Amino acid sequence: MRVPSTLYRGPAVSAKIVTIIPESETRLPSKSRSVIAIYPGSFDPITNGHLDLIQRGSRLFDRLIVSVLSNDTKAPLFSAAERMEMLREVVGVYPNVEVDSFNGLLVDHAAGRSAAVVLRGIRAISDYEYELQMALMNRRLCPQLETVFLLANEAYSFISSRLVKQVFGLGGNISGLVPPSVEKRLQRRMSKAKRKGA
């Protein structure tokens, strides 16, 4: 079957090939709507790798909500309120970025904030499996929510909050790995812990 020439003016192709998926059946938000993205994480504490992703995400999306998981099972060093405070201290320069927190399912939080996108960073192939699992689980729970991955800037691809805390705790130099305000907070937190232990 040929496509009627009144509808299609390109070279002759079969109707099967030019089938157009109605917009209502695609998952991507329509282009006219402003796109809100959520960047979820533990951020215990925020590193320069996270900050790089926030800066790049703020250019891609109309609004970016950086959301701290507050009921983290990983026994964080900083409380959710402290982690949010540290984030707010450094994202203030981006007018379309805000900080929030959530408990429970990420997909529920995203729906509550009308977000169409979850933003995550991938540093190395070792991140991929964990991220793929989460993205596919989130897609199963909420097919409309898209996960968008950005590759970490190579300058930060080896940084993790866990390693920053470990290196700092053992007296190593972490300048350039976290924002200066975070480094100061880590110093205060560690000396408080030392005083308690003494």
Please tell me the total number of residues recorded for the chain in this structure: 198
Among the listed residues 42, 58, 101, 161, the single catalytic one is 161
- Verify whether residue 123 is a known catalytic residue: yes
- Verify whether residue 74 is a known catalytic residue: yes
Residues 118-177 that bind ligand PNS (CB under 6 A): 134, 137-138
Q: What H or E segment, with its residue span, contains residue 73?
A: none
Phi-psi region of 158 (alpha: psi -120 to 50; beta: other; left: phi over 0): alpha
Question: Burial, 160: exposed, middle or buried (Cβ in 10 Å; 0-12, 13-18, 19+)?
Answer: middle
Decide: 99 and 58 in contact? Cβ < 8 Å: no
Between 3 and 82, CB nearer to ligand PNS: 82
Does 40 bind ligand PNS (CB under 6 A)? Our answer is yes
Does 105 bind ligand PNS (CB under 6 A)? Our answer is yes
Q: Name beta bridge partners: 101.
A: 68
Does 18 bind ligand PNS (CB under 6 A)? Our answer is no
**C-beta nearest to ligand PNS: residue:** 41
**What amino acid positions are annotated as catalytic residues?**
50, 74, 123, 161
Question: Which positions touch ligand PNS (CB under 6 A)?
Answer: 40-42, 69, 105-106, 134, 137-138
